[in-house]
Structure 1
Amino acid sequence: MDSAFATIALDQVRYSLVWEDSRTLYAGLAIAPTDHVLVITSAGCNVLNALLAAPRQVTAIDLNPVQNALLRLKCHLIAYYGPGALRGLMGFDGPAAVARTWRRVSATLPVELAAYWAPFFGAHPAGLLTAGRLEGYVTGFVPTLPPATQAALRQLLAFDSVAAQQAFFAAELDGAPFREAFVAWFDAVNLSKGRDPALFRYAPVSGGATFYARLRQTIATQLVRDNFFFRFFFFGPEGLPERLLPPCYQRRYHARLRQLLPRLRSVTGEAAAFLATPAGRTVSKASLSNIFEYASPAEFRRVCAELRATAGPPLRLLYWNLLQDQHYSPGPAEASVSAAAQARLSREDGCFFFRNVRVLEARPALRPTALLPVSASSHLLSSSLS
């Protein structure tokens, strides 16, 4: 695929967190035991979350070899250590725990892994979760605000009802100077410090204003105290309740992940090109993050047409739009997922960054797989263990 992402330097951890909600992953793909699932690696979170659903195979793919190296480190920690090692290096328990865990783990890592990651942890003492270019920038916003504004933001975590939460936000935060500071920090000029400017090539709208509108919508519809992405965005990884973490980082699923690791492989490359290979034609479900954000509308349509013409089993694609709403309109005889179902996924996704979740039957089945309700998808893992 002709993508702006292929034009940037792939020599660093650009993403240390997957911002696409795992509940949407489960609801949108309805992963079955016979599926071969393709997932954009990114920080590896949704690769591991997909693996927890116990499909036949998971293939992680990324153009950036550093992102695949990050996944390999996480898999090594899962395979050979208890859940405390992964939790410690992620940064959930603070910098002291990162340093303590790295000293213990580095002594027993394979030589090549230890040599690769030692400089990284030296440069990022707060751990993996804030080490990505984007995440370091995002979590740098709140410390720039006045203490009273920081305290008001934290007060949002104290409410038991959305109505009370929204009323407080409207009275204490929704206006200058907070709105102006947020929009300025996350607009294109400043946001390029967290994401390469080339990645905004096709964005038709302002990032800062759009993200602020989505933040307001989230505060009006979801309890943010129970929203992992809101809490990480504003307050970082420390102090997050275990129950809010992505499933792959919860202690109760650690042993399950270890058991399922043999079903995982990783590939360095481009997802659309991989799907056209013999190995790719065995993929039945794919979670493609927001890769179409970086392609032109014409290129998106071309890729969709090629995927629909490729032989293989029915293929369901799940992807997220950030600032560019890439949407394929199927013909009258083509299977598709209803607009209402896609709108529901968009509305209920936990990350306010994304408000256009799309599901495409790229190689249509006669009877498309039904979407799982997002509210029910949280039970997917527990039922798969029974």
Structure 2
Amino acid sequence: MIETATSAIPSPAAARADGAAKRLHRAVRRNPLLTPSGISEYVFSRLFRSLVYAQIWEDPEVDMAALRIAPGNSIVTIASGGCNALSYLVADPARIEAVDLNPAHVAFNRLKLAAAARLPDYETFYRFYGSGDDRRNIAAYRVYLQPHLDAETRAYWEGRTVTGRRRISIFHRRLYRHGLLGGFIGLGHKMARLYGADPRGLLDARTMEDQRRFFDETLAPLFDKRLIRWATGRKSSLFGLGIPPQQYEALSGAGSDMATILRQRVEKLACGFPLSENYFAWQAFGRGYGPGDRAPLPPYLARQNHETIRSRASRISITNTSLTEFLAAKPAGSVDRFILLDAQDWMTDGQLNALWAEITRSAAPGARVIFRTAPAESLLPGRLDNALLDRWAYHEAESRALHERDRSSIYGGFHLYVLKDHAA
């Protein structure tokens, strides 16, 4: 009887996992389960508990230009793949507090922080997160990282997937081909090859004119194919991009069909920037970072930033919670910079107002907020209570200019808000 009663008490890890599932459920679910929309939301919420982004798909250089991070700043950000949180360390903030609803992303970030701080040199760190395709990474994990991980993170990486492989093995099996997004990009490559097109051909371009020619002649015609138009017309087809049903509806309600919208986004990714400057294009068309010492990389992976990132990695923390819950526990006026990614595209009006009430309360003088949206326009006007919205100045022209500079190219809009009391 004692054994039975004891076994009925959930372990702390199980309780945390249950809490994470409930938070994600609240973030995504809107409709009754036994409806088409409810089933779609349920499927997405289940998929989103696993690793989605091995690399974050927001341009950190655009972020830092908008945020104007000053030494000593306090930053709160949604974590995603963790690339940008680490990259912000270059600007010397006092602390970066990252949050994420997805427990797999939390484990991914905690491993990345340990790697930044503990791996012995740049070459080992790059081998782990730059190439992510070397068996020596597993030995490095055991020697340098495993002893310094919390029990929950260690259990995640040493646990097995449905295929029987340990999760840590993705670091010697082409890291960036894993996760929901990695699988989606791989599927896109397979569909292109069905029509005789190989997206990797873009990477042979030597000039932007070559990039444009390849897109026009090889990639653009794919979006007129019947199978691709049929597939992209279904919400579930874009779950691999991390696009939940609500975000799909916001996009498709903008007046264009999804195949046309995706064509426009891929066009900017393929043609908008030189390949020598755009690591997002290498990820999309080559499924990894480019070869050689001169390949474009996110700031945290660049050799010249390694010692800075290593010495400041302890300034970052990662918590499995919602942004609103996290900010509710912060002192008033204590946060200088907020990065929301595209999370608001998922939110109801009630959730949006609850979030901005906490942002406004916890914002320090001169606070800046950035976020991205699937459509071009900011979603705050008409949805956020005027008493909250009036506290913030929308830098529309700067937002549009920064959006044009965003090399990831997958969002419709970039938005910068500054607290009016001390707008800079």
Question: Shorter-chain TM-score: what band?
Answer: 0.7 to 0.9
The percent identity for this pair of structures is 20
Secondary structure of 1:327 counterpart? coil
2:266 corresponds to: 215
Indicate whether 1:38 and 2:44 are aligned: no
- For the 8 Å contact 1:87–1:249, the answer to whether it is kept is yes
Indicate whether 1:169 and 2:221 are aligned: no
Shift of 1:141: 1.7
Out of 157, 171, 185, the position equivalent to 1:117 is 157
1:374 corresponds to: none
2:142 corresponds to: 106
Q: Counterparts of 1:130-145 in structure 2 under 5 Å? A: 130-145=177-192
- For the 8 Å contact 1:202–1:296, the answer to whether it is kept is no
Structure number with larger C-alpha Rg: 2
Q: Which runs of 5+ in 1 are unaligned?
A: 369-386
- For the 8 Å contact 1:14–1:132, the answer to whether it is kept is yes
Secondary structure of 2:77 counterpart? strand
Q: Amino acid of the residue matched to residue 79 of structure 2?
A: T
1:383 corresponds to: none
Shift of 1:255: 1.3
Cα distance in 2 between the residues matched to 1:271 and 1:88? 32
Shift of 1:349: 0.3
Q: Cα distance 1:227–1:297, how it changes in 2: closer, same or farther (>3 A)? A: farther
Higher relative CO (Cα under 8 Å, sequence separation at least 6) belongs to: 1
- For the 8 Å contact 1:290–1:319, the answer to whether it is kept is yes
Q: Cα distance 1:268–1:182, how it changes in 2: closer, same or farther (>3 A)? A: same
Shift of 1:298: 5.8
Indicate whether 1:85 and 2:124 are aligned: yes
1:19 corresponds to: 57
Cα distance in 1 between the residues matched to 2:323 and 2:313? 21
More helix by share: 2
- For the 8 Å contact 1:39–1:61, the answer to whether it is kept is yes
TM-score by length of 1: 0.81
Shift of 1:139: 3.1
Shift of 1:323: 4.6
Out of 87, 91, 113, the position equivalent to 1:49 is 87
Shift of 1:247: 0.8
Indicate whether 1:154 and 2:201 are aligned: yes
Out of 106, 113, 121, the position equivalent to 1:68 is 106
Shift of 1:11: 3.7
1:236 corresponds to: 287
Secondary structure of 1:315 counterpart? strand
Q: Amino acid of the residue matched to residue 366 of structure 1?
A: H
**Bigger shift: residues 45-54 or 199-208:** 199-208
- For the 8 Å contact 1:214–1:352, the answer to whether it is kept is yes
2:371 corresponds to: 319
1:286 corresponds to: 338
Shift of 1:56: 1.4
- How far does the alpha carbon of each residue in 1:300-341 deviate from its partner, in whole angstroms, 9 at most, with x for none? 355435533567434211111125844334899755243111
Cα distance in 1 between the residues matched to 2:222 and 2:183? 25
**Bigger shift: residues 325-334 or 348-357:** 325-334
Question: Would you say how many aligned residue pairs link Structure 1 and Structure 2?
Answer: 363
Q: Amino acid of the residue matched to residue 129 of structure 1?
A: Y
- For the 8 Å contact 2:86–2:309, the answer to whether it is kept is yes
